[in-house]
A and B are shown apart, each in its own frame.
Chain A
Amino acid sequence: MVRPGEVRMNTVRVPSPLRSYTGGAARVSASGATVGALLGELERAHPGVRFRMIDEQDRIRPHIRIFVNQREVASLDEAISAQDEVHLVCALSGG
């Protein structure tokens, strides 16, 4: 649980196709009580990155998967807690 006044930050792992938005960083910090809120904060820090993952209907794009720790995320409403690590995964095509 996060105590009042405590700043919760989640580690977010960024796949290489999206790192142009994070200045090349593979790992960034963002906070939010839900996956959607966290992505909102990520967007404020790294403009443009959310649209690469989420469409206008707030659906996760088909070539993107989001995992909280090892668990797959089906909806942006899913809650995350302070210790959770958020993994953004993008379909890769190279062979």
Chain B
Amino acid sequence: MALSPAERERYSRHLLLPEIGAAGQEKLKAARVLVIGAGGLGSPASLYLAAAGVGTLGVVDHDRVELSNLQRQLLFDTAGVGASKAQAARARLLALNPEIAVIAHELKLDAGNALELLRGYDCVLDGSDRLPTRYLVNDACVLLARPLVSAAIHRFEGQAMSYVPGAGPCYRCLFAESAEDAVPNCAEAGVLGVLPGMLGALQATEAIKLLLGIGEPLVGRLMTFDALAMQWREFRFARRPDCAVCGAHPSITSLAGHVRAAGAPAFERVGPQQLHTLWTNAIGAGRQLTIVDVREPREFALGHLQGALNIPLAELPRRWSGIPLEFPVVFACRSGARSRRACELAAQAGISSPIQLEGGLLAWAALVDPELQVAPVE
């Protein structure tokens, strides 16, 4: 793919680098990169990849731009609040570099569409905000033999690693399974707005290196960043011979085991007022609800729903037998993320029609019982 005169000027600072040059820039022009999540990480990563002249960029996101995104998601601006993130990202990236193609994938990545989508790209950047999506993306990349640059953030900390097929460990080798989605995301824990800029720029750098075959990829190396200490650290980790997806005898050979994110979830979501009505009606009929509070004991201790059992999310997979199943089972947490995960796990464990308290106890306190004390997030 030869460069036009305008492209030669646009990429002139790359062309000066012997490691890139015209041949490297033509490789970038021919490359197809998929960015999963147009969020804090996906924003800087996709902006830099577009600026760098990656010929085809795909952006996956099913959300809309919210005002609270603008503190860190530089793809968007105030006028774009309410717009489709994938479409707004496409417009911004094309405004930056009209020489490239940008494909907006307005969808939620799930087990049913991941392989088909990822197959069309040479390299994948994971900037999603849920642990299950990270495993889905990793597994799809391993199954399709696609390089993956993964990064994640929390408060003032970030971490990143690359997977290169056949060259080293995958994300599952680093963190073996997603059964314990005990890690709050940005919406629950907060995040320094600049932080994803650091990690997203790292992802773009890695992707460019992988596409060009230059430098030392972040394979078998976990980079961590602590913004408060202003320290990057590197840790070495090895491929696990027993890794479920990239090991010698993988148990994951398709994405069938991943919960489908699209379509009907295998659980019911009810808001606080609806739950209150359900509960009142159940008691009126001489029945009950089994309320399982999946927060940590110290959060539970400060205040909880009457009669609730406390089983922290991380312990749930070992404690199904402790949940009475004769009444409908409702999972509750502070704001709804942990109870959503609990419902997914419960559905997988065979509990029929688990119910999630949408909005969590914060919503319950706001709409039903203002006297309920809800402990701050850990």
Which A residues are closer than 8 A to B by beta carbons? Answer: 15-17, 20, 26, 48, 52, 61-63, 65, 67, 70-72, 87, 89-95
> In the bound complex, do residue B154 and residue A16 qualify as a contact, i.e. CB atoms below 8 Å apart?
yes
Tell me whether A90 and B40 are in contact (CB under 8 A): no
Distance between Cα atoms of A61 and B159 in the complex (Å): 18
Known pairs A15-B157, A93-B184, A94-B40 / 12 extra A-B pairs, C-beta < 8 Å: A26-B226, A62-B175, A62-B176, A70-B234, A72-B237, A89-B222, A91-B183, A92-B154, A93-B185, A94-B191, A95-B40, A95-B129
- Shortest Cβ distance from A72 into B: residue: B237
Return 8 A-B CB contacts under 8 Å, by A number.
Answer: A15-B154, A62-B176, A65-B174, A70-B234, A70-B235, A89-B235, A91-B131, A95-B152
A94 contacts B186, C-beta separation under 8 Å: yes
Nearest CB of B to A90, in Å: 7
A49 to chain B, nearest CB (A): 11
Q: How far is the CA of A63 from the CA of B152 in the complex (A)?
A: 13
Q: Are A65 and B156 in contact (CB under 8 A)?
A: no
One of B183, B186, B235 near A17 (C-beta < 8 A): B183
Q: Measuring CB to CB, which residues of chain B are less than 8 angstroms from any residue of chain A?
A: 37, 39-42, 126-131, 134, 151-159, 174-186, 189, 191, 196, 222, 224, 226, 228-229, 233-238, 297-298, 314, 378
Residues of B within 8 A of A89 (CB): 159, 222, 224, 235
When A and B form their complex, what is the total count of cross-chain residue pairs whose Cβ atoms lie within 8 Å? 103
Task: List the A residue with the shortest CB-CB distance to B181.
Answer: A93
Min CB gap B35→A, angstroms: 11
In the bound complex, residues from chain A placing their C-beta under 8 Å from that of B153 are: 92, 94-95
* A63 surroundings in chain B (CB, below 8 A): 131, 175, 177-178, 180, 182-183
Residue contact B156 to A94, C-beta cutoff 8 Å: no
On whether A95 and B159 interact (CB within 8 A), knowing A61-B314, A63-B180, A89-B224, the answer reads: no
Q: Are A94 and B179 in contact (CB under 8 A)?
A: no
**Are A90 and B235 touching (Cβ within 8 A)?**
no
CB contacts (< 8 Å) of B235 on chain A: these are 65, 67, 70, 72, 87, 89
Q: Are B131 and A93 in contact (CB under 8 A)?
A: yes
Chain B residues positioned under 8 Å from A62 (CB to CB): 175-177, 179-180
Please measure, in the bound complex, the distance between the C-alpha atom of A29 and the C-alpha atom of B314, giving whole angstroms: 26
Residue of A nearest to B222 (CB): A89
Asked if A95 and B127 sit within 8 Å, CB to CB, the answer is: yes
The answer to whether B183 and A90 touch across the interface, beta carbons within 8 angstroms, is: yes
Q: Which A residues are in CB contact (< 8 Å) with B189?
A: 16-17, 94
State A89–B237 Cα separation when bound (angstroms): 12
Contacts of B156 in A (CB 8 A): 16
Q: For A17, list chain B residues within 8 Å (CB).
A: 154, 182-184, 189, 378
In the complex, the answer to whether A93 meets B229 with C-beta atoms within 8 Å is no
A87: B residues at CB distance < 8 A:
233, 235
- Give the residues in chain A near B157, CB-CB below 8 Å: 15-16, 92
Q: Are B41 and A95 in contact (CB under 8 A)?
A: yes
Which residues on the A side are within 8 Å of B130 (C-beta)? Answer: 93
By the criterion CB–CB under 8 Å, are B314 and A92 in contact? no
Task: Let me know if B183 and A95 touch, CB within 8 A.
Answer: no
B165 CB to closest chain A CB (Å) equals: 22
Chain A residues with Cβ under 8 A from B37's Cβ? 95
The 3 closest A-B CB pairs, nearest first, are A62-B176, A92-B152, A95-B129
The answer to whether A72 and B236 touch across the interface, beta carbons within 8 angstroms, is yes
Which residues in B have their C-beta under 8 angstroms from that of A52?
182, 314
